[in-house]
Structures are given as structure tokens and as C-alpha cells.
Structure 1
Amino acid sequence: MRRIRVAAAQMGPIQKAETREQVVARMIALMDDAAGKGADFIVYPELALTTFFPRWYHADRAEADHWFEAQMPGPQTQPLFDRAREHGMAMSFGYAELTPDGHHFNTSILVDKSGAIIGKYRKIHLPGHDEYDEERAFQHLEKRYFEPGDLGFPVWRMLGGIFGMCICNDRRWPETYRVMGLQGVEMVVLGFNTPSVNSQKGEEGIEQRMFHHRLSLQAGAYQNATWVVAVAKAGSEDGHHLMGGTMIVDPDGFIVAQLGHEDDGVLVHDCDLDATRFGKETIFDFARHRRIAHYGLITGRVGAEPPPEE
């Protein structure tokens, strides 16, 4: 048995006026709680240091740069790394990254028990739009403020297992899990900030969106025989509601733990990485069963093209 005690550290809303120092203090409090429950690894949400700022439009996109981190860790986030090192706890969290050469990404990192960053992932499947859209109930401008990730879907060895990361909308795309599955991933961790209502389809509310959330996680876990740990930022941020849905899914696709509120809180669960073996050695033994000669359209075509009409 290779047991990892994972803490899914959901965060309630982060208001626009909150400082980095205030948010980091909340993250440290969650970490202390997780440490008291014996956690080895803590996972925080997407954009864990800030409000979900892509809901606001800036004609000059540089006006949004104050939401980005030019250094990680930096002076405001170093206390989080220090506390993780004190607890001997690995961690993952998401933030807005500004690179030294001026690129902007929606990023997550993987940090080992020594406090060293061992992995970085940049969100690939950016939802939303890049210009103000008056037809939407609210704006979702990730395509304006972020570039598509350029690091692919790598995995890393840590805590005796194989870990991968993705972010929010990535969870809806089967290719996300399969690329990591082809590298033997045993746990996928992801954070999300998901509006409770579809901005382009008002009748699609939290019940339908939660169904699609669970469906995506469970399918990805089952079809790749991997644990999936999904962590929300939830609640009302300056009047804009984000749904919860923090949960842990096992390699058979079953939800084994979930939080039922929208506040700061930790969901702790023991995950046996050896539980991935059965699926990987039987129905999803890729080496025996995959037929890549027939999968060319997946990477050879972007948009759907129906066959010609008779």
C-alpha cells in the first residue's frame, strides 16, 4: 500500500479588496488544520491568491497585471512555503503567472515536502472570450488575460507516486487525462473557479453545472485509473457566485469524499496509489488495448468536420 493522506483545501470567496497577505494567512490556517489531521499533501484551488479577476474588463489589459505574480515564491507567498516546510507537507496551488519576458499564464505548481517547486503546469484549455461581450450575463475574459499554456501535460514523481496537474476547464477535456494517463499518472490534482450559472445560457444553473463537473472528474479518473483531487474556490466574490464541488474521486471513478459547503475548509482522505494498478493492468492496460492507428483525427484535426452531404 502506498498511502497518501491528501487535504483538498477549499477556499471560500476572495474579495477584490483582500490583500495577498490576508489570503496567504487563510491558506496557512488551512494548512495548519490539514497538518493536525496528518495530511502529507495539500491542494488549493485555481487562482488561490486572488479573486477571479477575469470577470472584469480592462481596455488596457496591462491594468490587470497587479493580479499576477512575477516571482514564486515572492515576499508575500514565502510564508506559505515556510509553513509547508515546517509541516513537512507537499502542496499544489494555482496563481496568475507573469514571466520575466512578459508572458501571462494561469499556472499551478507542485511543491515537495522540502518546499522546493518540482513541477509547473500552465492552463491549456482557456475558456471564455477576449473582448467585452455585451450578450453575456457576465464576463469571462481568460482569453484576454492569459495565453494558452506552453508546457503540455507533464507528470512528476513525488511522495512515492506519479502526479499530474490541470486547471479548471482542462478537466472537461478527455485529452487532458489521457496524456497524463499515458505517462502512468496515479493522481491528478486540479483547482477550479466555476461560475454557478452559465453566462451564455442562464437556465443552466448550479445543478447542471455540478453534474458536468462530477461527470468530467469521474470519467477522467475511471478511464485512466487515477485518483483525481478537485478543489474549488467557492461562494460570492463581489456579487459573483462560484460553485463548490470540492471532491476526491478514486481510480474506479467513484466519489469517495466531498465538501458540502462553500467556505474555507479541508477535506482529508487517505488515497492508496496502489489502487490504480488494477485498472492500469486490466481494462485500461494501454499497451495491450489501444489502437493508435485509428486515432489520427484527435491530433490531426481541431474543429469538427461532418462528412459531405450526398
Structure 2
Amino acid sequence: MTAAVTTVGLEQLDVVAGAPAGNLALAVHRSTAAFRAGADVVVLPELAISGYVVDADLARAVAEPLDGPALAALGAVAAAHDGLIVYGFAEAAGADLFNTVVAVGPDGPVLHYRKLHLFDREKAVYTPGDLGLPVASTRHGVLGVCICYDLRFVEVLRALSLRGADLVIAPAAWVGGFDRTVPATGATGHVASVLAQANLDQVAVVAVSQVAGAAHGGPATLGGSIACDAYGELLAGPLSRTAPDSALATVDLAAVHAARVRGERIRPREDRRRDVYTLHYQGEPV
């Protein structure tokens, strides 16, 4: 049975590039703390286990298979607390490396996603994702996932929302390089993009970034993680721009569904002119 609300723990981590054992220990600690604080779902950043690695040799050395140490350790935490953990890692699959996110619950993986849109130096290390944009019906609502740069392609959140997602979870390692300027404090352009799309697509979004990675061999990740409702209004964040941080956000699933009708004659999904345009997902219109 789907819960009326779900509490999401945002766990913004400062991880070490190329140090999976230490990062995994940190992920276990922070996930456990979030569950004890009341979270039903815990969200960790992009590449939280491997660190943000864009050196091909190092990435190969720290990558692990889907059923590797991270899944075993975080799956055990999820089972102990009857919850769900969403985390990013460098996945080894045959000769390929993927920038991957998994949602693991008490009974194992619920969602397995490989980043579709590789950013900058990722293109020289990782293979573009080949698992599409999965959604899964859970007792926490219908969940979808994407990763960081995927959020800059409006088709991603649109496709996930039209395929039924109530909540899209987006682990990230936000950096500069897309927007002309990055403010020193407060919300970045990444946040503005998420809030606008959540409102337009009538879907709640939780985006959790790495922070301050330049101190540990990674890029200058920006933090500023957020959660928002289906009107694009903040439920939590932006979190710290310079330090590890945590927050809880309560997502009201009934309110997400209600947001899809904005008035008696304002129904964004019904008002789409599918006779003029449409969006196809894997060859089928949505």
C-alpha cells in the first residue's frame, strides 16, 4: 500500500575521489542517521561511493559491479530500517564503466539507472547509459531517477512525469560550467532549473549534490541540494554550499497528484496539444 506521505532524507556528502571504502563507510553512517531521524527514503549524491572520478585508470580501479560491496552494505541498512536508499557509484559491467544510480530496498534493487547525459570529462571515461529512464511503483509512490546533468535536458523530467513518476530523485555532483555565472552563496542555476521544471511537469524532485569535493581530489562541487514539491516550491534547502549537510523533506503524494489540476479549466496534462506535438519514449508516445 502506498503511504500518503513519504519523508526523504537529503544527505549531502563531501566524499573522497577514489576512496570507495571510506566513502561507503560514510554513506552507511549517514544513511543510518537519516533513517533514525525519520526518513523513509535516503538520497546520497552522484558517485557517492567511488567519489567523482574522471580519470579512466582510477575509475576502473574503484568501479564495482551492481552486486558489489555498496549494494551489500547499503542494502543491509535499508533492510534494517525498512526503507530505501538511493546512491551513486561507478559501475563496472564487462568492458564498460557507467555513472550509475541504484535505489535499494529491503528486498534488493528497486531501480537501476545509468546516466544518459555525460558531462564534460565524464565522456572520456564512462559509457552513455543504456537502461532508459526507469520508474518503479513503491510504497513511497512512483519513483523515477536521473543524474545531475540529465536535469538540464527538459525531456528527462517531462518523460519521467508523463510515465507516472510522483517523485524524481536526482543524485548530483553540481559544478560550474553550464551557467555563465555561479553565485557564491544561496541557490545556483541548477536549483532554478529544477524548480521551474517541477512546476511545469507537476512532479516532486529531490536533488542531492556532493559538496566541496576539490578538497579531496574531485571537482569543486557546489552543494546546495534541494527538495521541492510539484509546484516547484522548496520543501528543503538549498543546503550548505561549502560543507556536508542534511535535511528531511516530506512529500505529500496526494498533493503531487492534485497539482496536475490547477483550476476548473487549467489542466496542464489534458491541455497538451498532442495533435501538434508529442514526446516519444523508446519509440512510444507518452
Q: TM-score range by the shorter chain?
A: 0.7 to 0.9
Q: 1:98 to 1:289 in 2, by over 3 A?
A: same
Q: Residue 246 and residue 76 in structure 1: after superposition, are their counterparts in 2 closer, same or farther (change >3 A)?
A: closer
Q: TM-score, normalised by structure 2?
A: 0.86
- The change in CA–CA distance for 1:209 and 1:295 in structure 2 (over 3 A counts) is farther
Does the residue aligned with 2:132 lie in a helix, a strand or coil?
A: coil
Alpha-carbon separation, structure 2, partners of 1:284 and 1:125: 31
Q: Deviations over 1:225-261 (max 9, x none)?
A: 1110000111033374210111101111111211225
Report the RMSD for the aligned CA atoms in angstroms.
Answer: 2.4
Amino acid at match of 2:236: A
CA deviations over 1:7-38 (Å, ceiling 9, x no partner): 0111014244x3x2211111111112112211
1:149 counterpart = 2:129: yes
Q: Deviations over 1:183-236 (max 9, x none)?
A: 1210000111122x43x98x7334599432112111221111111000011103
Distance 1:62 1:187, change over 3 A: same
**Which residue is 1:133 aligned to?**
none
Residue by residue, what CA displacement relative to the aligned partner does 1:165-187 show, whole Å, maximum 9, x if unpaired? 00000111110011111112100
Match of 2:284 in 1: none
What is the CA distance between 1:94 and its match in structure 2?
A: 1.1
**Alpha carbons of structure 1 residues 222 and 103: separation in structure 2 relative to 1, 3 Å:** same
Q: Which residue of the partner structure matches residue 25 of structure 1?
A: 25
TM score, norm. by length of structure 1: 0.80
Is the Cα–Cα contact under 8 Å of residues 2 and 274 in structure 1 kept in the other structure? yes
| Counterpart-to-counterpart distance in 2, 1:145 and 1:98 | 11
Tell me the equivalent position of 1:304: none
1:294 aligns with 2:273: no
Q: Which runs of 5+ in 2 are unaligned?
A: 281-286
What is the percent sequence identity of the aligned residues?
Answer: 27
Check the 8 A contact 1:6/1:39 in 2, yes or no: yes
**Residues 76 and 223 from structure 1, CA distance in 2 versus in 1: closer, same or farther, beyond 3 angstroms?**
closer
Is 1:85 aligned to residue 79 of structure 2? yes
- CA shift, 1:42, in A, is 0.3
Report matched runs for 1:55-204 at 5 Å.
56=55, 61=56, 64-69=59-64, 71-75=65-69, 77-100=71-94, 102-112=95-105, 114-128=106-120, 141-195=121-175, 197-198=176-177, 204=181
Tell me, in whole angstroms, the C-alpha distance in 2 between the residues paired with 1:239 and 1:166. Answer: 21
- After superposition, the C-alpha distances for 1:242-284 in whole angstroms (9 at most, x for unaligned) are 1011110111111121122543332112111111122223445
Residue 64 of structure 1: how far off its partner (Å): 3.4
What residue identity is the alignment partner of 1:80? Answer: L
Q: Which runs of 5+ in 1 are unaligned?
A: 129-140, 300-310
Q: Which residue of 2 aligns with 1:34?
A: 34
CA distance in 2 between counterparts of 1:108 and 1:80 reads 13
Instruction: Determine which structure has more spread, i.e. the larger CA radius of gyration.
Output: 1
How many positions carry a matched residue from both structures? 272
Aligned to 2:283: none
Q: One-letter code of the match for 2:88? A: G
Shift of 1:295: 2.5
Moved over 2 A (4+): 61-64, 203-211, 236-240, 260-266, 281-285, 292-296
